[in-house]
Amino acid sequence: MYHAKPLNKGDCGVGSPKQGNDVTGIRTSFSMIFAMAVTLWPFAASADFRESDLKADPSGQFYCDETMDWCFGLAQKPSNAGEGHTPLLLVLRDGKEVTRQEIILGKRRHDGNGGWRKTGIWPHRFHDPQRRGAFLMGIVTTTTVGYSGGGASVAMLSLIRVDPTPGNNPTGTPPVLGMVATVPLEASKMIRACFSEHDVIDRHQVCHDEYDFEASITPLSDVGAQVGDDDAGQGNMPSLRYVARASRFPPNADLGTDSSVRPQLSKQEMVRAADLSCSFDAVFRFDHKAEEYEIDLPIEGCEIYLIP
């Protein structure tokens, strides 16, 4: 279950859109809003688990920690269903491959909408200060769908638990990999809103409805699962802070309404507005028995963002 921190209108700001089809300015403004919201979170960064970056190696095929102790890459093999490919996670330890494992990312409700998917290594990991125990890394799956005059993209983060010494087995034992959570990381959607010169005038030459979602995930100082004598080798997993912010442009954008029959937009409405139905702060805790995080997102409020 997530422990949500309620938001109100004062928790989210607004930004001004950039004219035309280029939404870079809009996303920059939204990122600033998002960053400000993150700094308001009352918890400190984890003293037990830390976040560090993974960077591409010279070959560009693997993402590695700063000491090159751990590197991660993706390969593909034909799926058992005969449709598309299934990712294989390749793990290198000290420059040598120690395991490769098929990762079942799960079928999303929007998979039937067409478009295309790509997978990549999330360039971060969460680990203990000594870098000896189990840690978290991730795979990002991005689904992109094209529309007439617009499109949508949704990125989902699958967190993978990597246990270097399962069951306290001797060094050299292949690490054990396990999926522990899948959460939305980023989404954007552009819907064409001008179909005549009159529409262009009514919308002040801004001819798309736009929807954006962005989230961050970081370890917290409290550890979500304690290890007893019977759990040797399983390792602690931290609780995770998850901060999500959603916004729309214009504020009255609605996928269920024909934009051409809406009233003319005023200049005061030419702003990006926070969507409180899909903006929330949450804490995910690790269920040690189930070996996964307890996650319960407000799907109903977020469907317009997370289903392309």
Residue-wise pLDDT for 172-225, tens only, equals: 678 989 999 999 999 999 988 777 787 777 777 778 889 999 999 999 875 444
In angstroms, the CA 142 to CA 120 distance is 8
pLDDT the model gives residue 8: 57
Residue with tokens 């550890």: 223
Residue positions counted in the chain = 308
Kindly report the backbone phi and psi dihedral angles of residue 159, in degrees, each rounded to the nearest multiple of 5, phi listed first. -85, 130
Please tell me the distance from the alpha carbon of residue 94 to that of residue 109, in angstroms, as a whole number: 39
The pLDDT of residue 240: 95
How far, in Å, CA of 273 to CA of 250, rounded?
7
**pLDDT (0 to 100) of residue 296:** 82
- Bigger pLDDT: 258 vs 238: 238
What is the per-residue pLDDT for 31?
40
Rg (CA), the chain: 21
pLDDT at residue 3, rounded to an integer:
44
Cβ 266 vs Cβ 290: under 8 Å: no
What tokens appear for 26 in the block?
């809009």
Give residue-wise pLDDT tens across range 85-144: 678 999 999 999 999 998 887 555 444 455 688 999 999 999 988 888 899 999 999 999
Q: Mean pLDDT check: name the lowest of 7-16, 124-133, 160-169, 282-291.
A: 7-16
pLDDT at 168: 58
Q: Which DSSP string do the residues of 42-92 spell out, in sequence order?
A: -SPBPSSSEEEE-EE-TTSS-EE-TTSSEEEEEEEEE-TTSSSEEEEEEEE
pTM for this entry:
0.77
* Residues 129, 133: Cα–Cα separation, whole Å: 9
State yes or no: cis peptide before 170, omega within 30 of 0: no
Q: What is the pLDDT of residue 7?
A: 58
Report the pLDDT averaged over residues 60-83: 84
pLDDT, tens digit, for every residue of 224-251? 444 443 343 345 789 999 999 999 988 8
Q: Where are the beta strands (DSSP E) in the chain?
A: 50-53, 55-56, 63-64, 70-78, 85-93, 96-102, 116-121, 124-127, 135-147, 150-163, 176-192, 208-223, 238-249, 273-274, 280-287, 292-294
Taking Cα atoms as reference points, which of 269, 151, 271, 272 lies closest to residue 202? 269
Residue 256 banded pLDDT, cuts 50, 70, 90: confident
Side chain identity at 6, as an amino acid letter?
Answer: P
The least confident of 58-62, 110-114, 150-154 is 110-114
Predicted confidence band of residue 51 (pLDDT cuts 50, 70, 90): very high
On average, the pLDDT of the chain sits at: 76
DSSP state of 124: E
pLDDT confidence of residue 197: 84
pLDDT score at 213: 97
Q: Which amino acid is at 115?
A: G
Torsional sign, CA 246, 8, 299, 37:
positive
Residue 117 to residue 113: CA distance in whole angstroms: 11
**Which is more confident, 275 or 76?**
275
Q: Please tell me the distance from the alpha carbon of residue 172 to that of residue 7, in angstroms, as a whole number.
A: 48
Is 64's pLDDT higher than 60? Answer: yes
pLDDT for 258 equals: 66
* Token pair belonging to 109: 């409700």
Instruction: State how far the Cα of 145 lies from the Cα of 188, in Å rounded to an integer.
Output: 11
Burial of 95 (0-12, 13-18, 19+ CB in 10 A): exposed
Residue 174 pLDDT: 86
Biggest CA–CA distance in the chain, Å, is 73
